[in-house]
Structure 1
Amino acid sequence: MKFLSSLTLSAVLASALFGGEVNVFAAANTTYAFPELIAEFNKANPKTKISVTLGASGALVTQIQNSAPADVFMAADMDFARKLDESGFSATRPVVYAQGALAMFSIRDVDFSKGLNALSNLKSISIANPNTAPYGKASIEALKNANLFDKVEKSIVYTQKISETLSQALSAADVGFIAASALYDVKMSKYKEGVNYAFVDPSLYTPIDQGIVITKRAENNDEARAFYDFVLSKNGADIFKKFGYNVPKK
């Protein structure tokens, strides 16, 4: 059995060297950066296919712990990356790949010059589920630190992931708390700061350190390691900065 296992492993590694697929499970807020990340990575690795599953970080952790075929996990905060590590499902220790920023967005007549106080009399405020989405957790923290949560709680409508808050704000909701990265999508270029959106004061919420790990499943996968290294490289950092993230100096 040991001999067969060695042959199987050798075959897998040899296949990877000639082009395989890397399954990346990533926080929904990274949606807009991924096309450029993949395009830039494939310049040096043209035969490697990057397959991306996007979702709420808490839900993705659960899927990986239940044998979902993830090779790299890019969480929306360090807590979920640590949770995967502490439960024995990662091959690397969690490290920060980017820091997310929070914004409010609306197509309604909202006076963003008032900051968070602009939410006081709104009927519907879209926020990602704070139990599974770190941006939702940051949104609630900001409202509480601004002493507004109790006043607006009745108006909050929760979504399952951060990308859905933008969809809600573009349709039914008066305003949505969104990942600032969404504002860098080309389709959002027609919207203006101060009119359609405002960045939430970062002093009102804990910095959103987003963590990355290689999963235990992929600890011997050279292509997964290559993509992981790329995300943490200067090229990867420059792309995240382009899409509204901060990237801490290493």
Structure 2
Amino acid sequence: MKLRRGKLSVLAVLAVAGLVLTTSGCGSDDEAPQGGATSSDTSSSSPALSGEITVFAAASLKKTFTEIGAEFEKAYPGTKVAFNFAGSSDLVAQIQQGAPADVFASADTKNMDKATGDSLTAADPVNFASNTLEIAVPPGNPAKIATLADLANSGVKVVLCAPAVPCGSAAAKVEAAAKIDIKPVSEEQSVTDVLGKVTAGEADAGLVYVTDVKGAGDKVMGVEFPESSSAVNTYPIATLKASKNAALADAFLKAVTGDPGQGILATAGFAKP
């Protein structure tokens, strides 16, 4: 067990990131990740990109994608990236019901598989990051949580994600690995809601991602546990067939999977897929 204090992510904005994105569209088609959408040439020789796209992204991506979006808009003046952040299961349900979206980024492959199974993606998804669980506790760790097993102790108020949400599915896997049965006081629809319960003092502990603990700074403390290695979540991203601005959607996907986006994600604590 290792106890550490979460630190606010300092998301460094490299001056060259915007330049690289502007001049090369985050790499040539030869450099695009396998399965990435490459139908649009986003190099400087192509017509200027314009318009707006809507990106549906997992709640755990809110800080990083907001920054990537801001850098993207700087690189492509006149464009706009709007976001809808929520639990991945809720997002894919909205897409299946016809909600207008251009890009989908999920916190697990299971929910992305729902989109591809319904033929909603324009190309094969690209895995761009991974994340693992960590126990978030209030400053000072008043309930003295030291291990994952402590979350199953009587009287400990624990908050988890709902089973359909990626962080909830991961929680179930680590419980099985530790051979324990956690009885949560509530099950939330996104990992940010779990973190909110802990920071508000409504729970003794919550299972969130490493990146959430890091991003919360001194609002929480993080308790690492070995069983987390049994539930590493892989994050895929894909453009959607229903996009009304496929060129801009393709360019955003390349921004996430290319050097500028990968640098921002790494700074926030995300690992490679």
- The alignment's TM-score, normalised by the length of structure 2, stands at 0.76
- 1:31 CA drift (Å): 1.3
Q: Is 1:41–1:230's contact at 8 Å kept on the other side of the alignment?
A: yes
Identical residues among aligned pairs (%): 27
Classify the secondary structure of the residue corresponding to 1:69. Answer: coil
Q: Distance in 1 between matches of 2:267 and 2:257?
A: 15
Q: Matches of 2:58 and 2:225 in 1, distance apart?
A: 20
SS in 2 for 1:218: coil
Answer whether contact 2:133 2:231 (CA < 8 A) is retained: no
Between the aligned partners of 1:20 and 1:200, the Cα distance in structure 2 is 45
Q: What corresponds to 1:4 in structure 2?
A: none
Query: Which of the numbers 77, 87, 111 marks the counterpart of 1:46?
Result: 77
Residues 1:18 and 1:211: Cα distance change in structure 2 (over 3 Å): closer
Distance 1:220 1:160 in 2: 30
Asked whether the 8 Å contact 2:49–2:76 carries over to 1, the reply is: no
Output the CA distance in 1 between the equivalents of 2:222 and 2:95.
35
CA separation of 1:146/1:209 partners in 2, compared to 1, >3 Å: closer, same or farther?
A: same
Q: Equivalent of 1:169, from 198, 203, 206?
A: 198
> Paired residues, what number?
223
Q: Which residue of 1 aligns with 2:261?
A: 236
Within a 5 Å distance, the mapping from 1:87-102 to structure 2 comes to: 87-102=118-133
Give the distance between the partners of 1:81 and 1:228, measured in 2 at CA.
15
**CA distance in 1: counterparts of 2:144 and 2:219, whole angstroms:** 14
Matched residue, 1:75: 106
- Conserved in 2, the CA contact under 8 Å of 1:91 and 1:219? no
Residue 200 of structure 1, CA deviation: 3.6
User: Which segments of 5 or more consecutive residues in structure 2 lack a partner in the other structure?
Assistant: 1-46
How far did residue 156 of structure 1 move?
Answer: 4.2
TM-score, normalization: structure 1?
0.82
Corresponding letter in the other structure for 1:157: S
SS of structure 2 residue aligned to 1:216: coil
d(CA) in 1 for partners of 2:208 and 2:250?
30
Structure 1 residue ranges (4+ consecutive) displaced by more than 3 angstroms after TM superposition:
none
Does structure 2 conserve the Cα–Cα contact (< 8 Å) formed by 1:71 and 1:218? Answer: yes
Q: 1:121 pairs with 143, 154, 169, which one?
A: 154
- CA separation of 1:219 and 1:229: change in aligned 2, threshold 3 A: farther
Deviation at residue 96 of structure 1 after TM alignment = 0.7
Give the Å deviation of 1:191.
4.7
Aligned to 1:140: 172
Distance 2:190 2:66 in 1: 19
Structure 1: gaps of 5 or more residues: 1-15
What is the rounded CA distance, in whole Å, between the counterparts of 1:212 and 1:129 in structure 2? 22
Q: Distance in 2 between matches of 1:200 and 1:47?
A: 46
Give the 3-state SS of the residue equivalent to 2:242 in structure 1: helix
Shift of 1:207: 1.9
Q: 1:148 to 1:156 in 2, by over 3 A?
A: farther
Higher helix share: 1
CA gap of 1:69–1:222, structure 2 versus 1, over 3 A, is: same
Root-mean-square deviation (Å): 2.0
Choose the corresponding residue for 2:51, options 2, 15, 20. Answer: 20
Q: Taking CA–CA contacts closer than 8 Å with sequence separation of 6 or more, which of the two structures ends up with the larger relative contact order?
A: 2
Which of the residues 196, 199, 210 maps onto 2:235?
Answer: 210
Measure, in 2, the Cα distance between the counterparts of 1:207 and 1:219.
34
Q: Distance in 1 between matches of 2:225 and 2:81?
A: 33
Deviation at 1:34, TM superposition (A): 2.1
